[in-house]
A and B are shown apart, each in its own frame.
Chain A
Amino acid sequence: MSENQQQPMLKVEDLHVYYGAIHAIKGISLEVYENEIVTLIGANGAGKSTTLNTIAGLIKPRTGSITFGGKDITGMQASRIVPMGLSLCPEGRLVFQQMSVRENLEMGGYTRTSQEVAESLDEMFQRFPRLKERSGQIAGTLSGGEQQMLAMARALMCRPKLMMLDEPSMGLAPILVDQIFQIISELHASGVTVLLVEQNAQMALSVAHRAYVLETGLISMTGSAENLLHNDAVQKAYLGS
């Protein structure tokens, strides 16, 4: 692909992350280029969430570097990374249960002006009509699928250049999973670059351009999504065939 000649939008180099004495990420490197959908797959506990949380600035890495849009963001606080256009829709959604749908969305635009927030709010209500219907409802009372939509819309409220999604399909019925992946494709079409973590490797590989396979804190395989989808080892380990 010609993309490899440009500067990557996100570049992670030799990242090491610890939880106390636990060495969770043992030197991973990855790149995401503009306009790509890249997926990170791996078994439970492989370190997928840790990787995304570290990129987002929630966890500080021990060593290694993270560059976003040409700027070094290693160890920077999340609150400074978000306005640069890097957003994470976290595992388990983490919507603000006691706030209304509208308030949740407004919080997603926390770093932007109220004018910009109003514009994005309209956009989100168009993209997610369900959220518009329920804008006054307390988020904790939404269904799981609605909460996932809300979490995604909230993460989009800061107009990210790169959106990271951590297991957006977790615990959802198949029809909703399809809908989530449909939205991810639409997002990509509208110019958002996507870094996607998924348990559902089949779906993730079919929507992504490139993929990394993470195994206990190390990247064991990488390549085009197409190739990995047909790779024997991947099929055995993650596609259940």
Chain B
Amino acid sequence: MVFLSNLVNGISLGSIYAIIALGYTMVYGIAKMLNFAHGDVIMVGAYIAFCALQYWNLHPLVALLLAMVFCTLLGITIEGLAYRPLRRATSLAVLITAIGMSYLLQNLALLIWGATPKNFPGLFSLGAVSLFSGQLKISGNTLLTIAANIVIMIALTTFTAKTKLGKAMRCVSENRGAAELMGINVNRTISATFAIGSALAAIAGVLLCSAYPTLQPTTGSMPGIKAFTAAVFGGIGSIPGAMIGGILLGVIEILGKAYISTELGDAIVFAVLIVVLLVRPTGLLGKAVREKV
């Protein structure tokens, strides 16, 4: 039962990683860049939701929506101001800009909300579910997180497979020049990708802080790095890969902490990543980059 409980917690934590990893993987797949500021967008989303709940007394759903809208605009702004001018620059220049953006967001948060951690109020007071005559208790929050992940995954898969914008994203991801020749506006498509990734980051931020209620300017960094790891683990650029990578990472982390060593939990996560990359350099579901004919 303890194992089962750990497993469910792992899946829940992994679901949060998966939602964050989607943002990394979509942006990487379409804009071909690592947006290291993505983790900090999570933190901003959580702060917005925090303000909405704590100071403005808004309904939790409204708070979530507000955080999503704010992060969407933030994502579009970051892309337009910082990354778009570098579209033809070297990937190293873009990477350094992204790291700079990450610190900028953290420092802005420090300026606005201060260094003292905020205690994030529970978003939804959902009752726990008891299974096996009370031996296994799963909190409402845990279930909500897992459910959110499943819904997002289905929605995103359908979106990229069926909608015009989703297909345009796949085209830009495969070949930017060819996509342009179809009449696709590449800048707008990349902008939309940042918008979606950042809205998801807001959801992840709220779910994360509902599970681990300490909110401070660095809250997004570690989950951001782990979600990036999850994206690489699953095969960067792949949407189902982000999902599988995220959940596996969460499960490994929780089980590692429970059965091997609390202190080494994170180290175990990264050790597994290294092993996977040694065996499969493209990640679990990643495709080898094909040579152009």
Question: What are the residues of chain A within 8 A of B181 when measuring CB–CB?
Answer: 56, 58, 78, 82, 87-88, 90, 94, 155
Partner-contacting stretch, out of A4-12, A106-114, A212-220, A229-237: A106-114
Q: How far is the CA of A111 from the CA of B167 in the complex (A)?
A: 13
Question: What are the residues of chain B within 8 A of A97 when measuring CB–CB?
Answer: 174, 290
15 A/B residue pairs, CB under 8 Å, sorted by A: A53-B177, A57-B180, A58-B180, A79-B180, A79-B183, A83-B183, A88-B181, A93-B293, A94-B177, A96-B178, A99-B171, A103-B167, A108-B182, A110-B183, A144-B293
Q: Interface size (A, Cβ < 8 Å)?
A: 33
Tell me the number of A-to-B contacts counted with CB atoms below 8 Å: 71
- Given A96-B178, A144-B293, also A106-B167 (CB < 8 A): yes
Q: Does B41 reach chain A (CB closer than 8 Å)?
A: no
Q: Mark B229-265, 1 if CB is under 8 A from A, else 0.
A: 0000000000000000000000000000000000000
Query: Chain B interface (Cβ within 8 Å of chain A)?
Result: 164, 167-168, 170-171, 174-175, 177-186, 290, 292-293
Query: Is chain B's interface secondary structure helix, strand, loop, or mixed overall?
Result: helix
Query: Is A111 a contact of B171 with CB atoms below 8 Å?
Result: no
Question: What are the residues of chain A within 8 A of B177 when measuring CB–CB?
Answer: 53, 58, 90, 94
Instruction: Write the chain A residue with the least CB distance to B290.
Output: A97
Question: B182: which of A53, A107, A171 is its contact (CB, 8 Å)?
Answer: A107
Q: Does A145 reach chain B (CB closer than 8 Å)?
A: no
Instruction: Write the chain B residue with the least CB distance to A139.
Output: B174
Q: Does A92 reach chain B (CB closer than 8 Å)?
A: yes
Q: Does A206 reach chain B (CB closer than 8 Å)?
A: no
Q: How far is the CA of A98 from the CA of B81 in the complex (A)?
A: 32
Question: A79: which of B170, B185, B290, B292 is its contact (CB, 8 Å)?
Answer: B185
Q: How far is the CA of A158 from the CA of B185 in the complex (A)?
A: 15
Q: How far is the CA of A58 from the CA of B88 in the complex (A)?
A: 13
Q: How far is the CA of A95 from the CA of B179 in the complex (A)?
A: 10
Query: Is B178 a contact of A94 with CB atoms below 8 Å?
Result: yes
Q: Mark A132-145, 1 if CB is under 8 A from B, else 0.
A: 00000000100010
